[in-house]
Amino acid sequence: MSHHPSAGQGPTPAPESGVSRWCEGSALLEGLVTVPVTVAFRYDAADPYAVRMAVHTEEAPPVEWVFARELLIEGLSRPAGLADVQVWPVPRRRRHLEAGRGAVNIRVSSQHGTTVLTVQATSLHAFLDRTLGTVAAGAEDTGPQIDAALASWLVLKGPDDGAA
């Protein structure tokens, strides 16, 4: 005989620490060829500043990028980023983004080349809203994981530590 706890009994589930979202989109490769892609965005509260983005195509293994969540947030409404990752809204008319008709471009560069990914603004916005529900903007460094990391890195030395 097995026993299953009834509703309200047993441990409370832990709050969600990870958020993910799959988005259909396209990739412009080296400015020459456009191919359909699936872009997987992942966020984990244990690494609160970062978003992981994996680009999946039928022709090649997935490629993963890691960059600041703030870059995506800013890129929804205006051009953001420098160097290897840049994000900007398309079209640049804000009312289209708010109506869900817009898209967001994400340009990624490496020594192997440059790709411009395009995903729907509503999909990216929904993903970011969920990440902000997990760890609010500005609250990234207030979690216990930061305190634990700092405690493990700091070594306090007393006056008798042998220093001359």
Global pTM value: 0.70
What's the confidence (pLDDT) of residue 31? 77
Fold of 18-135: Transcriptional Co-activator pc4; Chain A (2.30.31)
What's the confidence (pLDDT) of residue 6? 37
Q: Which residue has the tokens 């994996």?
A: 54
What's the confidence (pLDDT) of residue 143? 53
Domain boundaries of the chain, sorted by first residue: 18-135
| Distance (Å, whole) CA 55 – CA 65 | 8
Backbone phi and psi for residue 82, each to the nearest 5 degrees, phi listed first: -135, 165
Backbone phi and psi for residue 153, each to the nearest 5 degrees, phi listed first: -90, -25
| Distance (Å, whole) CA 19 – CA 75 | 19
Q: Which residues of the chain have pLDDT under 70?
A: 1-17, 92-101, 139-140, 142-164
Which residues partner with 37 through β-bridges? 25
